Structure 1
Amino acid sequence: MKRESHLKILFFAVFILMANLSLAQEIKEIYVSPSGYDSNSGTYERPFKTLGKATAALVTMDSRKLEKIVVWLNDGIYRISNPIVIDSTIKKSGTPFEFKAVEGSSPTISGAVELKDWSNLGDGIWVSEVPKNLGVFRELFVKGKRAMRARHPNNEYLRVKEVGADRRTNFTYHTGDFPQPKIPGEVELVVLHDWSITRIPIKDISLDSHTITASDSIGAKGLNFFNLDNWEPNPRYYLENDIEFLDAEYEWYLDTSASKIYLKLPMDLEPSQLSIEVPLAESLLAVEGSEQNPISNISFEGIRFKHCRWNIPNQTYAGIQACNFDTQQGNKEWAVVPAAIRTTWAHNIRFKDCEFNSLGGSGIWLGTGTINSTITSCRIRDISGNGVMIGEGQDRLVSGESWWKAAPQQAALGNTVEDCDISDCGVQFYGAVGIWCGLTAETILKNNEIYNLPYTGISIGWMWSPEPTPCRDNTIAENHIHHVMQKLSDGGGIYMLGLQPGSKLIDNNIHDISVNAGRAESNGMFLDEGTKDVLVENNLIYNIAKSPLRFHKASTNFVKNNYLFSNGETPAIAYNNTLPENIHQEGNREISTDDPNYIVALKKAVSKHIPTPNKP
């Protein structure tokens, strides 16, 4: 009897265990489709219509009993006005959440609305009332492509005639440089500095003295090197947003005082034939944990993120570097252009085969406390600011002290960007970069193609001194970087800043940095202040405006087995305030265009460094 009782208890325990194991293996699937209904059950046959309904359904689930949850997105456009937020109220455990495109589909999460009601003014110009919910905006997209806000000149630049006495707020222009704007107060002045730009409203245009006066200081306050004539005596500028500048097809102008938008189209087209969209949402996706309770194990696959607005605070963007800008509120109050997609206090977040395009701020940001997260086989393009951002700068405070001193463990750690195609970033804010990494550790940037940028390809580090920070052991390897530094200068294919011991720049192919627009150099690689104990090995650098490799206020570094092709008498390695003997060299090939074997050597080197095709 006792033996039989024990057998029954054992059988019951095994039954409960097997039931729990069976339950633990369950995969919950939710389906969403633009043609569905939120009153549906979210199944394959009866999908939800909106992502808001899908995330609301996640709140009610006990994910701890599931192997994983998959949210399937069918083909189509999911328009949102507010971001999708995944926080601890939605994700209560480490159970994986997967947001995936249904096989064969290309779902788009869009923060834009369509403008449909247009009136014809003749000569290809159309006008529409601006809906109240749109207010002021900086971008318009026609047929999926970014339209140019009316500017003068359309493609090139004007040159300052003479800088004003204070060197900051005004300058004279040449007679006939531009048509007199109808509403000068709505015109934006865009001034190019060596490695950044300023966008600022115009206060006044004097026809008598031929003077343009800005609404505030041009350039970041408290930094004298942003004086207008510091780099060039006659810096470049252009004007944007006036009806008088509306002279090219697909240009547009926003009259904020009358709440009207004007668009110039080809004579054979009318708006009813086109998709005309304006971004409304200020963010598309936020993954938000906390230091005590980080969010973990979320992936996004095969999804396109598109259209996100960012309006400049106080209407003035005084760029400093890599989309950090002066708020104009004090001597050193910096802010950063936000990203459409951002993670904070998040572990193991993955983006694969996704697209991030047509975005008004920056693209995607693996921010504070993001660990072991990846962006792989993605395409990032047509971004107003930075393409990808990892980590953060110096300014955040913890208990009144800089975070990197008070809590260095909060640094972004072990994140990867690999096999991505990154192009056409910095569309509005030219000082932007393809991939920006602040004070990060163990970051890997590998096998990405980065091209068609106004400034630097990859920027890593954020300390203008050799002072120790959490920044260390970062690897930039096997990237193909080309046709960058197209508008600004004093950067390069790769730009490194500050102490980050154990870091490596290896096996990169960098070429066609042929524009050197400002006073400072444009280089293949530029290792700036505080760089120390970095290995630069087996890189191919050619067709560069200035030196393929430049050091500035750098310390001991190691340069081995690189192919450095230079122009004429331009040195292969430039040493600015750097002792050449501190740059330990071994096995490098330095070849000038003056060498009769230049072409043969270049072809041979290129054949060895053919980049692996990217997957997107």
Structure 2
Amino acid sequence: MDNCSRFYLLVRVGVCLNFDNFRSNIHKKLAMIKRRSIRNCLLVSIILMITSCSRTTSEFYVSPGGNDANSGTAKEPFKTIRKALENLPHDVSGSFVIHLTEGTYFQEEPLLVESGIFSNPETQLLLRAEEGANPVISGGIRIRDWQQLDDGLWEALVEPGKMPRELFIGDKRCVRARFPNEGFLRVKRVGEDRRTNFFFEADEFPAPQRADDTELVLLHDWSVSRIGLKEINLREKQITAVDSIGAKCLPFFNLDNWEEHPRYFLENDRAFLDADFEWYFDSETGKILLKLPPDQHPEELDVVFPISEGLLSLTGTKEHPVKNISFEGITFRHSAWGTPPRGYCGIQACFYDPRPASQQWDVVPAAIKAEWAENITFNKCTFQNLGGSGLWFSSGCKNCRVSNSQFSDISGNGIMIGEGQDRRVKGQPWWQEAPEEVALANTIENCTVTECGVRLYGAVGIWCGLTAEVNIKNNHIHNLPYTGISVGWMWSPVATPCRENVIDGNHIHNIMNVLSDGGGIYMLGLQPGSRLVNNHIHDVQINAGRAESNGMFLDEGTTDVLVANNLIYNIAKSPLRFHRATTNLVKENYLFCPPGNPPIRYNSTNEDDIQKVDNVVLTEGEEDYGVRLEEMIRKFQ
């Protein structure tokens, strides 16, 4: 075979192999040939041109001003991320990059990335912001053609079939018109069935103009119901919902079980539209009404509502997980999730009562969901203005990571890891039949999680179900209506795959701002080898329901957990609470208590089962309370 034939064969093979290795080998071959004969100069030039061209196939560029008919280069970028994904060479191994330039990438349905994206499971893909750019993936649609009404409101027609649940101007969430604007009303007396109806005080709220569109929002101790109205009887002063208010499957969700006069408010009627940046959607006319300050015009504003139910789906299988995909510097915004037709009646942490009834609890979906995925990473990303939950590493996810990222203004949970009890394998609960399928060794590190549960108050900042070896470290979690971090999903010490979960060095404060019966950290179930260590928890001041809120709440079945070197202060009730827990170790913590509250509360828990070693306990009013507290705050900063 002559030199030309050898090079032809080498080039043909090279296009099917890793281009980086190909370039290295080809240059070695070129050096040898150049020494043999000057007659190969022309061939050398041709091969260098081929290897140079091969580099462009490993990188693609996308721009909102691009065109999907382009080649995907920096000078001729694609318009959509979907087109860049379609153009990835599936049968070539190596590393690929999709660069996103400045701008907003609108989409009406989620991006789907499946395990078959590459034939070689070791191939890597990075979707990243171009240097200096802030690309936004948005599932929203801009509202145009506003008309001003005589009463100073603005009106716009929504595309037929769309049902807005959230509305945003820039990165500001507008308030769905409600009464009262702040705070809550109180149920006067529950109806006879304690489930579907209640009575209110005379003239307590403006009579809704369209009760069919009005939604009742009622607060339980640790969850919330959002449900439509069947009737408002002004003569009897009685509200009746379209279905049971509160979860049907649990008897303690009777309306007056926790509070005799539970809190509620009404939402979405023109009669409630009385404050700037409030809005109302009229389902009969298909129009949005928006109230703005006199000096603002909606055509000059970026008014958006979400239409895509989810933004990104990373979906593999147990046999073929989707692997090795990273996201860097990208903002995810405007994911839609609509309340179910028979209402959202929360059970806990955005799991809710299925309607019609089934054995499984439903769960509020996340804008970004990974399932049967490995080595998926999000770094320096932003998750904002979302209608459901934020990010979910769900069934079978392993070694996935989110770091240095921001989560804010999210209707449901901020971050979710693992799953609950309901999935079935061979007709049995997965955690019994196939415990090896547990979400394993996933990490949340150096993230900020704030203003989650904006609409679904029972949401948590970071939720982990039945999961193993999760590492939640050095995160800042604050300004939440309910719990900061929740780990576990079994209300007894029954053995599950849940083990060796570590909550380390997180700063958690100003949580439990609306609901009760939670804490900075909430844990339950048998969790051998799990550790709650080095956390800084403070300002849990509102205790609205019947059950108390705490710095840490170790709930039913909590077993084999180490609680060590945590600083907890400014808590309305006890810094620590155990409920139906078994053996655990509480060691070298700094517990600052309000007067009249013990450092540890034991509810149906044998105090002797909780081993306590070298904890520092101070009660407000003691001589050195303030000095010691300031000293410890400096230590944990």
TM-score normalized by the length of structure 2: 0.92
Instruction: Output the aligned Cα RMSD.
Output: 2.0
Q: Flag structure 2 segments of 5+ consecutive residues without an equivalent.
A: 25-53
Equivalent in the alignment of 2:21: 22
Tell me, in whole angstroms, the C-alpha distance in 2 between the residues paired with 1:23 and 1:202: 67
Equivalent in the alignment of 1:336: 363
8 Å contact from structure 1 (residues 297, 347) kept in 2: yes
Deviation by residue 1:442-501 (Cα, 9 ceiling, x = unmatched): 000000000010000000000011100000000000000000000000000000011111
Q: Does residue 173 in structure 1 map to residue 200 in structure 2?
A: yes
8 Å contact from structure 2 (residues 90, 118) kept in 1: no
Equivalent in the alignment of 2:309: 282
Which of residues 63, 84, 90 is equivalent to 1:54?
84
8 Å contact from structure 2 (residues 506, 536) kept in 1: yes
Tell me, in whole angstroms, the C-alpha distance in 1 between the residues paired with 2:92 and 2:460: 39
Equivalent in the alignment of 2:72: 42
Q: Flag structure 1 segments of 5+ consecutive residues without an equivalent.
A: 611-616
Matching residue's letter, 1:111: G
Tell me, in whole angstroms, the C-alpha distance in 1 between the residues paired with 2:579 and 2:386: 34
Deviation of 1:270 (Å): 1.4
8 Å contact from structure 1 (residues 124, 266) kept in 2: no
Deviation of 1:22 (Å): 2.8
Which of residues 533, 541, 555 is equivalent to 1:528?
555
Residue aligned with 1:55, SS? helix
Identity among equivalent pairs (%): 53
Matching residue's letter, 2:61: Y
8 Å contact from structure 1 (residues 326, 332) kept in 2: no
Tell me, in whole angstroms, the C-alpha distance in 1 between the residues paired with 2:381 and 2:361: 31
Equivalent in the alignment of 2:325: 298
Equivalent in the alignment of 1:541: 568
Deviation of 1:269 (Å): 1.1
Which of residues 516, 533, 538 is equivalent to 1:506?
533
Deviation by residue 1:376-398 (Cα, 9 ceiling, x = unmatched): 00001100000000000000111
Distance change >3 Å, CA 24–CA 224, structure 1 → 2: farther
Residue aligned with 2:526, SS? coil
Which of residues 416, 424, 427 is equivalent to 2:454?
427
Deviation of 1:122 (Å): 3.0
8 Å contact from structure 1 (residues 220, 328) kept in 2: no
Tell me, in whole angstroms, the C-alpha distance in 2 between the residues paired with 1:168 and 1:61: 55
Matching residue's letter, 1:132: P
Residue aligned with 2:568, SS? strand
Distance change >3 Å, CA 136–CA 534, structure 1 → 2: same
Deviation of 1:132 (Å): 1.6
Moved more, 530-539 or 312-321: 312-321
Matching residue's letter, 1:251: E
Tell me, in whole angstroms, the C-alpha distance in 2 between the residues paired with 1:22 and 1:375: 30
**Following superposition of structure 1 onto structure 2, how do residues 396-545 of structure 1 map, counting pairs within 5 Å?**
396-545=423-572
8 Å contact from structure 1 (residues 221, 332) kept in 2: no
**Following superposition of structure 1 onto structure 2, how do residues 355-374 of structure 1 map, counting pairs within 5 Å?**
355-374=382-401
Tell me, in whole angstroms, the C-alpha distance in 1 between the residues paired with 2:63 and 2:358: 50
Tell me, in whole angstroms, the C-alpha distance in 2 between the residues paired with 1:588 and 1:144: 44
Deviation of 1:268 (Å): 1.2
Deviation of 1:24 (Å): 7.5
8 Å contact from structure 1 (residues 144, 275) kept in 2: no
Tell me, in whole angstroms, the C-alpha distance in 2 between the residues paired with 1:98 and 1:196: 38
**Following superposition of structure 1 onto structure 2, how do residues 36-435 of structure 1 map, counting pairs within 5 Å?**
36-58=66-88, 60-64=89-93, 67-93=94-120, 94-133=122-161, 135-330=162-357, 332-435=359-462
TM-score normalized by the length of structure 1: 0.95
Matching residue's letter, 2:75: E
Tell me, in whole angstroms, the C-alpha distance in 1 between the residues paired with 2:572 and 2:118: 50
**Pair member with larger Rg:** 2
8 Å contact from structure 2 (residues 14, 22) kept in 1: no
Residue aligned with 1:530, SS? coil
Tell me, in whole angstroms, the C-alpha distance in 1 between the residues paired with 2:484 and 2:501: 16
Residue aligned with 1:606, SS? helix
8 Å contact from structure 1 (residues 198, 218) kept in 2: yes
Equivalent in the alignment of 2:588: 561
8 Å contact from structure 1 (residues 313, 327) kept in 2: no
Matching residue's letter, 1:313: P
Residue aligned with 1:433, SS? coil
Equivalent residues, number: 599
Equivalent in the alignment of 1:613: none
Deviation of 1:315 (Å): 4.2
Deviation by residue 1:108-135 (Cα, 9 ceiling, x = unmatched): 00000100111111333011111125x2
Deviation of 1:92 (Å): 2.8
Q: Which ranges of 4 or more aligned residues in structure 1 deviate by more than 4 Å?
A: 15-21, 24-27
8 Å contact from structure 2 (residues 229, 239) kept in 1: yes
Tell me, in whole angstroms, the C-alpha distance in 1 between the residues paired with 2:309 and 2:90: 29
Tell me, in whole angstroms, the C-alpha distance in 2 between the residues paired with 1:33 and 1:277: 20
Tell me, in whole angstroms, the C-alpha distance in 2 between the residues paired with 1:49 and 1:420: 30
